[in-house]
């Protein structure tokens, strides 16, 4: 195991069976080695900087039925909302005043926001807020739509693969297809977005082999961003009675991703903060270098419940930022309020 970790640190590669071996056999002391090497790798590229993003959850309408997600259209136990353009711009304004220079616009798959509306929104944000990056996280769209948004000024796009295992994908996403998911990711990379993908750790039916395949998928596509979080059951979904994903395993995956994709932008996700009071810091220590603060108005935030407990950890952005700054000092990191693009990226 020690040799394997060394090889991973030096070459930034692992074979599938090696990833599986680490996932199933790592013990507490070697786990600390893994985190140390991941943190070192991050520091070699990004120093002690942690980038801040502002998340705007602008609609919780969704046409999909992902079994793990509280926004699934079959959940009738949720107040659906949409933020109008002026409300979204208001969120940006608030974030901008705080110094935030990346806005992550996230929603369910909501056809109300048609291509032209999204184009207009993108142009307006880029016009009003100097030197900011716009990231979309709005699911599967046509290649034409991705192109239009890119041309309007969108910089980045987040679309987790969730899993590349066909059976698990199909089981978790009735009505959707892995083929289309992968096509969307290919299109995003090809158009020129800084593209992010990722998965949930601890989904029912997920094995270490599947995890290894999903980690390798990220490596093979060299994504500029990767999002990983533990599975958190939502009461109004078909997976309500399953166990939460493990913190330990999620952190191990974070560290492996850092070592395999040394330059990737890797958030300590809200899902980590939900399952552990010190989750953000733990993520940073395992190799993460991004934190997303929530800029959504509190009425919206309450209803954007992808998983349970999400609201309990998302303070007003002003308060979160102060907390994050303090917490990070203790782990030797420092907040960077810049756009925080992928290293060496020309935009």
Instruction: For residue 126, state whether it binds ligand 5AD (rule: CB under 6 A).
Output: no
Give the one residue of 8, 37, 56, 69 binding ligand 5AD; rule: CB under 6 A: 69
SS3 state at 199? strand
For the four alpha carbons of 293, 39, 333 and 273, in that order, the dihedral sign comes to positive
Chain residue whose CB lies nearest ligand 5AD: 307
Instruction: For residue 113, state whether it binds ligand 5AD (rule: CB under 6 A).
Output: no
Only one of the segments 209-217, 226-234, 288-296, 324-332 lies at the binding site for ligand 5AD (rule: CB under 6 A); that segment is 226-234
Q: Residue 4 or residue 69: which is nearer to ligand 5AD going by CB?
A: 69
Q: Within 13 A of 340's CA, how many CA atoms are on the CB side?
A: 31
Min separation Cβ 96 and ligand 5AD, Å: 24
Asked if 163 contacts 203 with a C-beta cutoff of 8 angstroms, the reply is: yes
Indicate the DSSP class of residue 331: T
State which of positions 34-63 bind ligand 5AD (CB under 6 A).
Answer: none
Rounded-to-integer distance, Cα 16 and Cα 18, Å: 5
Give the distance, in angstroms, between the CA of residue 265 and the centroid of all CA atoms in the same chain.
9
Q: Residue 284 or residue 306: which is nearer to ligand 5AD going by CB?
A: 306
Rounded-to-integer distance, Cα 76 and Cα 56, Å: 23
Q: Residue 47 or residue 235: which is nearer to ligand 5AD going by CB?
A: 235
Instruction: For residue 89, state whether it binds ligand 5AD (rule: CB under 6 A).
Output: no
Q: Residue 5 or residue 55: which is nearer to ligand 5AD going by CB?
A: 55
Neighbours of 112 (CB within 10 A): 9
Q: Classify residue 187 as exposed, middle or buried by CB count within 10 Å of its CB (0-12, 13-18, 19+).
A: buried
Q: Residue 12 or residue 308: which is nearer to ligand 5AD going by CB?
A: 308
Asked if 305 contacts 108 with a C-beta cutoff of 8 angstroms, the reply is: no
Query: Per-residue string for binding with ligand 5AD, 255-294, x by CB under 6 A?
Result: ----------------x-----------------------
Rounded-to-integer distance, Cα 149 and Cα 191, Å: 10
Rounded-to-integer distance, Cα 15 and Cα 327, Å: 35
Only one of the segments 2-10, 37-45, 181-189, 229-237 lies at the binding site for ligand 5AD (rule: CB under 6 A); that segment is 229-237
Give the one residue of 19, 138, 226, 232 binding ligand 5AD; rule: CB under 6 A: 232
Give the one residue of 54, 196, 229, 267 binding ligand 5AD; rule: CB under 6 A: 229
State which of positions 138-197 bind ligand 5AD (CB under 6 A).
Answer: 160, 162
Instruction: For residue 231, state whether it binds ligand 5AD (rule: CB under 6 A).
Output: yes
For the four alpha carbons of 106, 112, 115 and 119, in that order, the dihedral sign comes to negative
Q: Tell me the sheet residues that pair with 105.
A: 56, 136
Q: Which two tokens stand for residue 196?
A: 């992010």
Q: Residue 260 or residue 271: which is nearer to ligand 5AD going by CB?
A: 271
Rounded-to-integer distance, Cα 25 and Cα 212, Å: 13
Q: Residue 14 or residue 313: which is nearer to ligand 5AD going by CB?
A: 313
Q: Residue 68 or residue 113: which is nearer to ligand 5AD going by CB?
A: 68
| Strands 49-59 and 290-294, sheet pairing | parallel
Instruction: For residue 217, state whether it binds ligand 5AD (rule: CB under 6 A).
Output: no
Residues that bind ligand 5AD (CB under 6 A): 68-69, 160, 162, 200, 229, 231-232, 234, 271, 306-307
């Amino acid at each position: 195991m020690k040799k394997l970790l060394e090889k991973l640190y030096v070459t930034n590669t692992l074979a599938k069976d090696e990833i599986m071996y680490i996932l199933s056999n790592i013990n507490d002391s070697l786990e600390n080695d893994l985190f140390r090497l991941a943190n070192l790798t991050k520091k070699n590229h990004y120093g002690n900087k942690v980038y801040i993003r502002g998340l705007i959850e602008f609609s919780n309408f969704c046409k999909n039925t992902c079994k793990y997600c509280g926004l699934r259209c079959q959940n009738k136990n949720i107040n659906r909302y949409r933020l109008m353009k002026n409300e979204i711009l208001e969120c940006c304004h608030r974030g901008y005043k705080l110094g935030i220079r990346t806005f992550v616009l996230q929603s369910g798959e909501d056809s109300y926001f048609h291509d032209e509306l999204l184009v207009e929104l993108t142009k307006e944000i880029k016009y009003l807020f100097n030197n900011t990056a716009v990231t979309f996280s709005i699911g599967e769209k046509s290649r034409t739509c991705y192109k239009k948004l890119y041309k309007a000024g969108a910089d980045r796009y987040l679309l987790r693969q969730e899993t590349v295992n066909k059976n698990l994908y199909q089981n978790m996403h009735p009505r959707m297809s892995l083929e289309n998911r992968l096509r969307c990711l290919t299109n995003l990379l090809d158009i020129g977005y800084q593209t992010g993908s990722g998965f949930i750790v601890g989904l029912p039916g997920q094995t270490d082999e599947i995890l290894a395949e999903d980690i390798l998928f990220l490596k093979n596509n060299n994504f500029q961003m990767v999002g990983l979080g533990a599975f958190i059951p939502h009461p109004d979904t078909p997976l309500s009675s399953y166990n939460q994903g493990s913190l330990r395993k999620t952190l191990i995956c974070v560290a492996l991703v850092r070592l395999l994709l040394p330059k990737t932008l890797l958030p300590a996700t809200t899902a980590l903060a939900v399952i552990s009071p010190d989750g953000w810091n733990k993520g940073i220590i395992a190799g993460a270098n991004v934190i997303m603060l929530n800029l959504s108005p509190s009425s919206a935030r309450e209803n954007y419940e992808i998983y349970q407990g999400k609201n309990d950890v998302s303070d007003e952005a002003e308060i979160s930022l102060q907390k994050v700054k303090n917490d990070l000092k203790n782990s030797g990191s420092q907040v960077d309020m810049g756009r925080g693009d992928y290293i060496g990226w020309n935009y």
